[in-house]
Structure 1
Amino acid sequence: MPHADEIWTGGTILTMDPANPLAEAMAVTGGKITAVGRSSDVENLIGSGTTIHKLHGRFVMPGLVESHTHALWGACRTLFDIYVGFDASLTDLLDAVQERCRENDPSQVVFGGPWRPVMRPEMGANPRELLDAISTEHTIVLHDASQHLLWCNSLALQRAGIGPDAPDIPGGIIERDPATGAPNGILAETATAAARALVARSPDQLGEAVREAVRYFTSFGFTAFKEPMAFEEELRTYQTADQCGDLSMHMAAHIVHSSPLGGNLVPYDAMDRLRRTYASENVRLDFAKLFLDGVAPGFTASFIEPYLAESGYDAALHDPDATLLIPPAELNDMLIQLDRRGFTVKMHAVGDNAIRKGLDAIAAARAANGPSDMRHEIAHSSFVSDTDLCRFNGLNAVAEVSPKMWYPNPGTAVQKALLGTDRVEKNHRIADLLAAGAEVIYGSDWPASAPDANPWTGLAGMMTRRSVDPNFPGTLAPNQAISLANALPIFTSNGARSLGMEHETGSIQAGKWADFIILKEDLLNTQPMDVAAIRPQRTYWKGRVVFESCD
């Protein structure tokens, strides 16, 4: 065997290879792993040109995979938007809007957030009036914590074509003044598309956002991610970044077929064109996105049982399918068509009824097209019914657990008020899904419903069902806590498989890319709650350092 370019030795290497779970050393040549094992064996590959890295007892493991993150949204929030945090008050948010209006020329859209459902009583019957009082010259568009609802001033409504007599929009909600029936400034799901389109980013801003996202993700130890909702602008941005060397991560993007945030269906032939046009070395595009329902705070998540009557919901008129964004027969046809064209589909599904309909659609595709390597995903999988737990394994479907709501957080009280404590205690049934044989992947959904993309707090919470934030004590469904051994594949090898890269990354094995991180902590002997504080000292992608801590 030829000599290695580089060798790491003298530490503990967690490989995520069941046949060889722990090693002492590894060799890398040309960005790929060429040997993993005992130090004495790997060191036989040392030659005159080999660089030797002494680990001094440090811990090495595969790079992490983030399977659901809106990277450009999140980076643009960091760089350009108003962001007051998930715990901010309404006054904090309005003060930030006022300050941005003072700073910005009226030609620039004032965009940001988040606002939360608990603020709704303070916002009054006509929330647009609060924003109009700040400025009638600036276009103001504020998103909620889930990014599924917008709060607009009158100018934003006008520019979005939502006038006083605007008709309802299928699949969306236009909240109205109870006295006049005019839009009051709150939009949900498909009704947000025109207002969202007012927030334009320049190519330079998007390029800067990619660089910021890569810096941010690699600082946590991610070496791969999936963009869960991509239109042509996002695809072009990622391809450009890859071609100029700014995308030092593996990634895949789910091309939108249906989205409440983007207007009309994207035709199948157009999706094929986008896939052909924008795929590049590190950008994989054999993936598609559908939205089946919305989110609980907007009463748009589709549940078999009604929301609580005391939350203001008319339980007597409950129809589980009324909040589905795609009728079941149409959804089945979409899955059949996308599966046949070779797209792995990620379906946004929060409520148990939406999850069931997503699984039904996968079953329809299997029946129509026969066995397939496409492992379609139910994104979020927040509330899986008892009946549907075992169907993931039977259909070779993937349960994505996202966002990080398997421990108490700012949204827990809102969910309990809408759904009741018993139902919320069945939120993110990770242990039950694993016991039923489902393959599970991790996604933060950052920046939607997640203040950050930190996987280590997510990993700690997965093992404890507790938050590291003392402001949110207690546990959420503690019976769903899982062990580190069961959690780690969710963040590594399972994520790699969801990218279609199980033979290239996700574990430290000969022949795979040298995608790994170095920790000073021995992860295998770290207390679960202490895992939340872990940060990599270095992140390697294809054998080169893409992040190095200053500590």
Structure 2
Amino acid sequence: MRHAETIITNARITTGDPSQPRAEAVAIAGGRILATGTAEAVAILSGPGTRVHDLHGRGLVPGLVDSHTHGLWGAVRDLFEIFLGFAASHADLLDGIAGQAGQAAPGEWITAAPWKAHLRAELGARPRERLDQVAPDRPVAVKDVTMHALWVNSEALRRAGITAETPDPDGGEIERDESGEPTGILTETAMALVLPHLAPSPGQLAQAVRHMVARFNGWGLTGFKEPMAFEPDLAAYAAAYDAGDLHLHMGAHLARQSPFGGDMTPMSDMTRWRETYGRPGLNTAYAKLFLDGVAPSHTAAFTEAYPGTDPARHDPEAMLLLKPDALAAEVMALDAAGFTVKMHAVGDRAIQAGLDAIEAARRTNGDSGLRHEIAHCPFPRMQDLPRFAALGAVAEVSPKLWFPGPVTEGQRAVLGADRVERCHPIGDLLKAGAEVIYGSDWPAASADANPWTGLAGMISRRDPGGRFPGTLGADQAIPLDTALGLMTTGGARAMGREGDFGQIRAGQSADMVMIGGDLSAMTPEDIGATEPQATLFRGQVVYGAL
């Protein structure tokens, strides 16, 4: 009989294992779970050198998985950019930029966030001039809440070479005033004209990975998928893995096409990236496509016109960043090459187009076994819900917009209250047999990657912090065990690691989170306020202490 290296006992364990949903003790050896059960049954695995931790009734849950979070992007924001929170006004933002402008080195770029696209009128006819007033000699780029638009000053336009003669790139817009001069607002692919100037250095990326891992482990995350990786990001993640610093199961979607990266990444580069940076715990056999934009900038492809716009001029096909034939060809090619595709799709027309492309790939390639994902998936048509199960497609519900928050006002202003009420029909997706996974989309439209508020919001459809009243789609609330499964076993399956982690079950990786009490006995508000006391990854404490 193999003896346990560690036994955790007298705990209230939520295992995530339907065959044994509750336990009070767990034995660990070699980074794996040996057994779970009663304290007495597990105690027999004790031997010389076994460490026994009595939790005195505290809770233990499987390590959580975020299937869509821009880890490096968020960490870079934390460390190197001005971020005042989603409740900050534009005046607050300008004050923060003014303060940084007085400290920045000559010529140094200032990056800040977030401005609010639904309050665009506050910035005046030429928003660049507002930034010129507080930072006349420094290039400034301000990201909007969704990260799909930039507000820049005149010096930034000059550095990027953007003039009245610069054409709008396909899928993007350089906003212009009545004389044709750029106003300082860039949306979607037009951002790629500026973003290379904001790229962090390799040293900054290395620092950002360490910061990200510490934050994620502190929240109880033991796995995540990076939804949009370019080569410098992959190099930083792989270096952290090789150094033993990446205490997370990880997958990375390689950016085949993105509003943030300009041209399509050649398939030869995609293959090289996959082979060069893939590791046993870093799966790089994923790809990313963008099908539309976001609602605040009126670039999400909805079949129904935006409120306040002329329905006769509404053209959802024009909003698709990849037209249906080109999209189908892309998904077919990526599927044949062994890449699982994650497709950014916000509007219902974009979601439909993504499902059509998966259907085309199945028809042409047969069933590859790859479960392609529709990312965000906030507004699917009711008639498209059964197609997820039929096509073996995954609905990724992301970001945390299924309960009222600081961006809800903007959603309602842009889409109307009735449509926002239909956002993220998680309950209906599950009833239709869809496979559903969870993602925070941090830092886009999400203040943090804290999974506990996301979990609480899924089971209550209200703000667990109580700052924003009311509910969103209250009829779409789902039970705790179901919601937890989206964030554990669902995340593991989306990484091709089903059965390897995601449950506190014999044979699986010993990834666990210690919390203050019994999760099943907590209110949604208690769950949302949860602060992990310890996180174990592969049996090792990577945050806190037992």
* Structure 2 partner of 1:215: 214
2:510 is aligned with 1:510: no
* Structure 2 partner of 1:255: 254
Q: How does 1:151-550 map to 2 (within 5 A)?
A: 151-178=151-178, 180-308=179-307, 310=308, 313-548=309-544
Cα distance in 1 for residues equivalent to 2:122 and 2:292: 27
User: How many residues matched?
Assistant: 546
* Structure 1 partner of 2:102: 102
The CA deviation at 1:497 is: 0.5
The CA deviation at 1:502 is: 1.1
- Which ranges of 4 or more aligned residues in structure 1 deviate by more than 4 Å? none
Query: Can you list the C-alpha shifts for 1:288-315, whole angstroms capped at 9, x where unaligned?
Result: 000000000001000011111x2xx332
Query: Can you list the C-alpha shifts for 1:153-209, whole angstroms capped at 9, x where unaligned?
Result: 11211222211221121100111102x011110000000002111102122211111
Cα distance in 2 for residues equivalent to 1:457 and 1:187: 32
Cα distance in 2 for residues equivalent to 1:490 and 1:426: 20
Cα distance in 2 for residues equivalent to 1:161 and 1:388: 43
Cα distance in 2 for residues equivalent to 1:51 and 1:405: 42
Unaligned regions of 5+ residues in structure 2, if any? none
Cα distance in 2 for residues equivalent to 1:517 and 1:281: 23
The CA deviation at 1:415 is: 1.8
2:40 is aligned with 1:61: no
Cα distance in 1 for residues equivalent to 2:481 and 2:156: 50
Cα distance in 2 for residues equivalent to 1:16 and 1:471: 31
2:252 counterpart SS class: strand
2:124 is aligned with 1:147: no
Cα distance in 2 for residues equivalent to 1:91 and 1:321: 37
Cα distance in 2 for residues equivalent to 1:329 and 1:419: 28
Cα distance in 2 for residues equivalent to 1:499 and 1:375: 10
Tell me the TM-score normalised to structure 2 length. Answer: 0.98
1:33 counterpart SS class: strand
AA aligned to 2:499 is H
Cα distance in 2 for residues equivalent to 1:462 and 1:196: 34
Cα distance in 2 for residues equivalent to 1:240 and 1:150: 31
* Structure 1 partner of 2:32: 32
AA aligned to 1:350 is V
CA RMSD of aligned residues (A): 1.2
The CA deviation at 1:12 is: 2.1
The CA deviation at 1:99 is: 0.7
The CA deviation at 1:413 is: 2.1
Cα distance in 1 for residues equivalent to 2:107 and 2:350: 40
2:102 counterpart SS class: helix
> Do the aligned partners of 2:14 and 2:519 also contact (CA within 8 Å) in 1?
no
Query: Can you list the C-alpha shifts for 1:214-269, whole angstroms capped at 9, x where unaligned?
Result: 11111110000110000001000000111112211111110010101100001112
AA aligned to 1:57 is G
1:197 counterpart SS class: helix
Cα distance in 2 for residues equivalent to 1:280 and 1:471: 42
The CA deviation at 1:472 is: 1.7
Cα distance in 2 for residues equivalent to 1:122 and 1:353: 30
> Do the aligned partners of 2:465 and 2:528 also contact (CA within 8 Å) in 1?
no
AA aligned to 2:543 is F
1:297 counterpart SS class: coil
* Structure 2 partner of 1:91: 91
Query: Can you list the C-alpha shifts for 1:347-381, whole angstroms capped at 9, x where unaligned?
Result: 00000000000000111111111112211111000
2:156 counterpart SS class: helix
2:130 is aligned with 1:134: no
Cα distance in 2 for residues equivalent to 1:502 and 1:545: 23
Cα distance in 1 for residues equivalent to 2:482 and 2:187: 37
AA aligned to 1:149 is A
AA aligned to 1:425 is E
Cα distance in 2 for residues equivalent to 1:467 and 1:421: 17
AA aligned to 1:383 is F
> Do the aligned partners of 1:464 and 1:529 also contact (CA within 8 Å) in 2?
no
Query: Can you list the C-alpha shifts for 1:308-334, whole angstroms capped at 9, x where unaligned?
Result: 1x2xx3322111111000011010011
The CA deviation at 1:469 is: 4.1
AA aligned to 1:409 is G
The CA deviation at 1:486 is: 1.6
> Do the aligned partners of 1:293 and 1:300 also contact (CA within 8 Å) in 2?
yes
The CA deviation at 1:41 is: 2.2
> Do the aligned partners of 1:536 and 1:549 also contact (CA within 8 Å) in 2?
no
* Structure 1 partner of 2:19: 19
1:204 counterpart SS class: helix
Cα distance in 2 for residues equivalent to 1:282 and 1:110: 35
AA aligned to 1:483 is P
Tell me the TM-score normalised to structure 1 length. Answer: 0.97
Cα distance in 1 for residues equivalent to 2:506 and 2:466: 43
The CA deviation at 1:136 is: 3.0
Unaligned regions of 5+ residues in structure 1, if any? none
AA aligned to 1:101 is A
Cα distance in 2 for residues equivalent to 1:477 and 1:399: 17
Query: Can you list the C-alpha shifts for 1:473-503, whole angstroms capped at 9, x where unaligned?
Result: 1111111111112211011100110111112
The 3 A distance-change label for structure 1 pair 303 and 437 is same
Cα distance in 1 for residues equivalent to 2:470 and 2:490: 29
The CA deviation at 1:468 is: 3.0
* Structure 2 partner of 1:7: 7
> Do the aligned partners of 1:440 and 1:490 also contact (CA within 8 Å) in 2?
yes
Cα distance in 2 for residues equivalent to 1:7 and 1:346: 39
Cα distance in 2 for residues equivalent to 1:199 and 1:87: 24
The CA deviation at 1:549 is: 6.4
Cα distance in 1 for residues equivalent to 2:151 and 2:443: 17
Cα distance in 1 for residues equivalent to 2:446 and 2:296: 15
Cα distance in 1 for residues equivalent to 2:153 and 2:465: 34
